[in-house]
Structures are given as structure tokens and as C-alpha cells.
Amino acid sequence: MDEPGAVIDGKYVLGEVVGSGGMATVWRAYEYGSQVPVAIKRIKESIAHDIGFVELFVEEARVYTQLIHPIIVQILDFGEDHQGNYFLVMEWVDGLTLAQYLAAMHELDLWPPWQLVAAVAIEALKGLGAAHARIDPQGRLAPVFHRDVTPQNILLSRAGAVKLTDFGLARAMDRARITEPNVIKGKVGYLAPEMTEAAPASPQTDMYALGVVIWQGLTGLRMFEGKDEVEIFMSAKRADVMPLAEIRPDVPVAMSAFIDRALAFDPADRFESADQMQRVLANILYSQEVHVGPEVLGHSVLEIISYRDSGRVSR
């Protein structure tokens, strides 16, 4: 059984649990004899011998090894322990998830500055663009679609770096059948309308999900509501979105128009690529004579961490 202090594969010492999902648990850990932290993802013991889940976990490791980019959390090691259970070792990002950052802002009764949200989105789009433009070892275009772009999977470091993580639901084109057909993956509140009809993932579905993240980050609201996942699913299917300007009149018109395009019902009406979406958003900041560098974002992250440590907001 995993517990603090346990040594994995004779190389890594588990510290504390920092995240847990349906398939895996993430630990802060240290390489044996070192104080440099790493993140270790372990398949939950209850499903460690389920072949389907193990295949997904191995697929995640395979995808990560082929996505080398400053905005994508990097894999450092992958292997099996003495019991035959897989583990994935990733770089440690010292900071907060975007979900934690936004939740703290909400508890403090603050709206995140639209400029900061835009700056985070620009960085996330750089990572998505790299995944969508992946080239396989044979030199062929083999895009990877994240399929789970949510605030929980965007990390903000104390230094102001932005990182995309958790490509566990990613599907490379050369492994298109690793999951059963017609099974919708990802959190339903971030699904593009066409995904509710079992359409294949695409750059536009990832960009739509990021549009939902931006809208929710700016409003402090959930875009699609419901008493259960079925109701949220049906709301996402209809894609009825409250105009951003009605909630955040301080946001420039160009930013509202950007959100409208990102959240267009028809994929053909959205941005053509993550690179194009990033450039449009950067031009909005430039036109407003706004510059949000890592130092600005890092300062804001440190303030939120200070509030959390002081007990003014929950964890």
C-alpha cells in the first residue's frame, strides 16, 4: 500500500498526496537521497490490474514522451515497481492549479483581472498548439488532442510559468482505437457541443474547452449548470452561453468577441488553430497596451498562496 515514506522502485520516496482522480493518485515525492521534488502518478490499487486502465496509463506515458515543450509538464521516468504496478514521474510545478487560483479569488470576492486570465490562456494555447502539431518518428503529422482542458489541468508556478498537464485522456491519431467507440471522455462541463454527439476530438474541441475555462475564469460562474452530470451534459449539448459582456462590462469588446468565437456552436466558426487563437488574444492585449509577464502572474500566485497559508481562503 502506498503511504508517505514508501520507496518506489528503489528510487523515489513518496511524500504526500497532492491530487487524486478516478484512475490515479499524484504524490509529491523525492528522488532517493535528494531533496529535489518530483510528481509521481500512481494507478489506484483498486484498478491497478484492470487491463483497460493500465493501457490508458501506458498510453499517457507514451504521449508525454513525445510532447517536449516548455508549456507541457515533462516526463522524467516511467516504470513498474516490484509488484508490477506502473508509475509515472513528472517535473514538479511548485504553485497552484488554475482551479485553486480562481477558487481563492472567488472566496476573496475578487474578479481575476481579464489581462491575467488572457495571459494564462496564451501560454496554454502554446502548449496545445505544440500537441496539435506533433510529428511522429516517421516525420508524419500525428496530432495529440488533450480532451480534458480544465482549470485543474493548467498549473501556475510561483515564478509565473504556466504548464499544461494530464494528457491521460489524450488520443494520438495513431492510437485512435485505444478506447471503446462512442465513449465520451473528459469532464462534461467542458465538452464542445459536437463531442456530445460522439464526434472525434479535434483542435477545435480543445480550443472550445479552453474558451469555457476563460469564460469561467472571468465570471466566477460555471458555464453549464445542472443537478447532475446528465443535466450538465444536456446543457453543454445546447451550448447556451450567457454573453460575457453582461457579467463583466469591464472586459474590452474585443475580448468578448474573442470568447464568442472560441465558444461558437459550429466548429467551423471557431479559430482555425491554437496558434491563430493565441495570436488574436495576444493582439488584444497589445491593442490595450497591456503587458503581463511571468513576474506579474507569479506575484499574483504568491499572493494567493500567502492568503491560503494564512487561512483566509480554504485549500
Tell me the three cell numbers of residue 221.
Answer: 460562474
Cα dist from 123 to 163, 200, 239, 263, 300, whole Å: 8, 25, 25, 19, 16
Three-state DSSP state, 24: strand
Are 6 and 32 in contact by the 8 Å Cβ rule? The answer is no
Q: Rounded to whole angstroms, how far apart are CA atoms 232 and 235?
A: 5
Are 158 and 302 in contact by the 8 Å Cβ rule? The answer is yes
| Range list of H helices, 66-219 | 98-107, 114-132, 203-219
b (16+ CB within 10 A) / e for 67-100: bebebbbebbbbeebeeebbbbbbebbebbbbbb
Q: Rounded to whole angstroms, how far apart are CA atoms 158 and 301?
A: 6
Q: Is 148 considered catalytic here?
A: yes
Please, is 287 exposed, middle or buried when counting C-beta atoms within 10 Å of its C-beta (0-12, 13-18, 19+)?
A: exposed
Beta-bridge partner residues of 172: 144
Q: Rounded to whole angstroms, how far apart are CA atoms 243 and 146?
A: 26
Which of 9, 148, 206, 260 is catalytic? The answer is 148
Look up cell 485549500; give the residue: 315
Q: Which of 25, 33, 46 is nearest to 7 (CA)?
A: 33
Are 23 and 44 in contact by the 8 Å Cβ rule? The answer is yes
Look up cell 465513449; give the residue: 183
Residues recognised as catalytic: 148
